[in-house]
Amino acid sequence: MKNVRYIIASLVLSLAACVQTIEPETATPPAPTDSVAQATAASVTPAAPTPTMPTATAAETATATETPFVIPTHLRPSPTASPPSRTPTTTPTPWPTPSSLPLPMSQELTFEVVAHEGGRAFSVATEGNVAYVGLGPRLVMLDVTDPANVQPLARSPVLPGLVSPVLIGEDVVYAGTGRHLLVLQADDQGQLDVLAEVRLPGYVSHLIQADGMLYAAGSVPAGPEEQPTGFLAAVAPTEDNDLAFVDAPSLPAAASGIARDGDLLYVALDPLGPGPGELFVFDLDRGALLGEPATTRLPFQDQVHSLHMAGETLLVGGHMHLYALDTGDPAGAGSVGLEKRWQVDASPDLFLPMVEGMAVVGDTIYVVGNVPAGAYIPSRLAVPAPELLEGEGGSTTSPLVSLSNNRLFVTEGDSLQIYDVSQPGELVQIGGYGPFPTLMSTLAIEEPAPGEELLYLYSASSNDSRAEELFTFRLPDLQPLGYLSIEATNEPQLSQGALFDLLLHQNQAYAVARDGIRQIDISVHSAPRIIAHHPFTEGALSPRGLVAAGDTLYLSVQRPPQLAAISFDATGNSEQTGELARPLQGNNINDVTAAGDTLYLTTSEHPEGWLHTIDVSAGNPERLATLPLPGEPAWGILAADGTLLAVAVNEQLILIDVSAPDRPQALSAVTLPFAAEQFRSINALAFQEDLLFVIASSTLLAIDVSDPTAPRALGGFQLPNWGDHLAISGDTIVVGDGSMGVLVLRMNR
């Protein structure tokens, strides 16, 4: 796989132009709630390079007759044929445009954290054989004496945001978590306790210490019509391990790197786009953070992803470029001289990434980052400096990288990676730590017996060749029970926009994998096994969801918009039994859900959207009605409870009466309480009796919809991050996201 990735990267490097995709900043709630502060820390299990749960593989697949999924010929696009008629079988119900309603809030319901595991590795700091790693919203303390067998020593409770960055102080550790800078200290019970915190103007991404002062840099998100900015905050630690806020000058863009050279503090700015970055230079000796502007503002020729100070050389990590600047001496009052010494560029022989972190040993520069090649391909390189680097390599300041005892520690993606750098120019991985999956496609809860709840986590990615994985956990403590690896049997067929879905139905699990639908026996929780495979044979299919009605499964395909009926029997045989006779209005299927013998699909064709009701009582799907929506519906955000349907449209929650499926009627359009500075997005919906649970950006809301014309929120909970996945059983709520991990909440009525 490594060779394949290098070939892809080489092809990308040969293009005349390269456009970088910037992932939007992850929103973090502004303050911890009482329920977060009272989070119960679940026990930490020792790390292992592979899951420690009992496993079963696709080799156990039964030799059932495979019936491929094929889009019927008359539904395939034709360059010569006229487009099929999109006239609906019934007249579309006009959109009544109900009045936009505010959402009243009460505190009738509260939430408490029961368990949490996982999360993306965002930061690392090391001291000797101890590493502090930010895993999602927790800080974890690890014994890395044996890199191949890393042992957890302590961990924090769930903190108010994702942990990045981390800095080790004297007997304490400092961590940036969202808008907060925290002081933590390990106790004798394996807990990293929060001693103090200070709120900052924005989200902390970089942290450095100089002459007893902490300098935190980051980003300040803006409203929908504004450009985000940045900040640089000075915070003074006190003798009693408290924090005193000093000053925080604003910056015109988000900070992407920080480095110190004596009294000079360099801050890199990222404009969050393909344009060049900037370097701001603060003279700390002149009190530049006490109401004074930066000493020098230097435009740069490239994007700037990281900074590192090596002796008198300032290393600048760019977009597939590495620069060395001679800091020299101040060139007079109010200015700093920076002369470029050399430059290293990506080439077919050197797969230099977007340089997001650096460490220096002797004259070797170790760079980490990602190569943009369709997907982001991780890169770790040992780059010899074209000229000798004078002076010490200096402490790493990128939150992704730390250096200790000739070992390079890298946190990026789903784990901590440990490399031996004792031999000049060599980079050999010798260990790591990654106890929980971070790729999450969906979550589902099963109740096999009264009082017993199991969580199924399905992990897959169309941007990677790794196998799909099914994890089983016992709730509420997330105890691992079972594991299944699903290996593709042919070339991947799903497009990059595909939705990997998991359906629990009649004591079986059905997983939409990259090469078809797998029927999985989950009766033995510790050893799920594949019993049937319904393959995809059409190239680049983009499934948008899998639902069930009676004994039949229905798979929706994004393009061309289509719905196919598939039946599985107890022996593992499958058969495609029907499909919609005519295409749906719109050129994309956004989502599908089911209630009884009725399916509900949303489709879109920018800037319009539609809701379709589909009758499946007679076997073949038959469209009953089409309801125009007041805009494009969100992808994958649709829920129904039998008589009421909820869909997200244009940042609003639309409630629709579907008690008569052939006459759906819009009841209300609800304006949710988004924070003005956060990205506005409805991420997940789920019904539970008369309650509709909604994740709006980083807020979980429980909304009473017993009167859908006047919904009201009964309680809310601030999540450490956006939650993309939601599963509910009784008073147990599970929220999941690759960055945050899995968070189990209990609702108190």
| pLDDT at residue 52 tops 50 | no
Which pLDDT does position 37 carry in this prediction?
32
What separation, in Å, do the N-terminal and C-terminal C-alpha atoms of the chain show?
51
Which pLDDT does position 159 carry in this prediction?
97
| pLDDT at residue 375 tops 80 | no
The enclosing H or E element of 425 equals none
281-306 confidence digits (pLDDT tens): 888 887 667 666 666 788 888 899 99
| pLDDT at residue 240 tops 80 | yes
| pLDDT at residue 331 tops 60 | no
Percent of residues, the chain, with pLDDT higher than 70: 81
CA distance 18 to 340: 24
| pLDDT at residue 447 tops 50 | yes
96-127 confidence digits (pLDDT tens): 556 567 788 888 999 999 999 999 999 999 99
The enclosing H or E element of 34 equals helix 34-37
133-192 confidence digits (pLDDT tens): 999 999 999 999 999 999 999 999 999 999 999 999 999 999 999 999 999 999 999 999
| pLDDT at residue 334 tops 50 | no
Strands (E), 580-643: 588-595, 598-605, 608-615, 622-629, 633-640
Range with the lowest mean pLDDT among 56-65, 236-245, 435-444, 556-565? 56-65
Percent of residues, the chain, with pLDDT higher than 90: 57
Residue with tokens 């699903």: 486
Top mean-pLDDT range of 41-45, 337-341, 576-580, 612-616: 612-616
| pLDDT at residue 404 tops 60 | yes
**DSSP codes, 433-489:** E--S-----EEEEEEEETTEEEEEEEE--TTS-SPEEEEEEETTTTEEEEEEEE--S
Which pLDDT does position 629 carry in this prediction?
94
518-538 confidence digits (pLDDT tens): 999 999 999 999 999 888 876
Which pLDDT does position 360 carry in this prediction?
95
**Helical spans, DSSP H, in 341-459:** none
The mean per-residue pLDDT over the stretch 229-255 comes to 93
572-605 confidence digits (pLDDT tens): 788 888 888 778 888 889 999 999 999 999 999 9
The mean per-residue pLDDT over the stretch 671-697 comes to 85
CA distance 118 to 135: 7
**CB < 8 Å & 24+ apart, contacts of 548-552:** 548/503, 548/505, 548/506, 548/510, 548/594, 549/594, 549/596, 549/597, 549/598, 549/599, 549/616, 550/597, 550/616, 551/506, 552/577, 552/616, 552/619
Place 425 in a pLDDT band, splitting at 50, 70 and 90: confident
Q: Which of these, 314, 316, 335, 344, lies nearest to 326 by C-alpha position?
A: 314
Burial class (CB in 10 A: 0-12, 13-18, 19+), 39: buried
Burial 149-159 (b: 16+ CB within 10 A, else e): ebebbbbbbbb
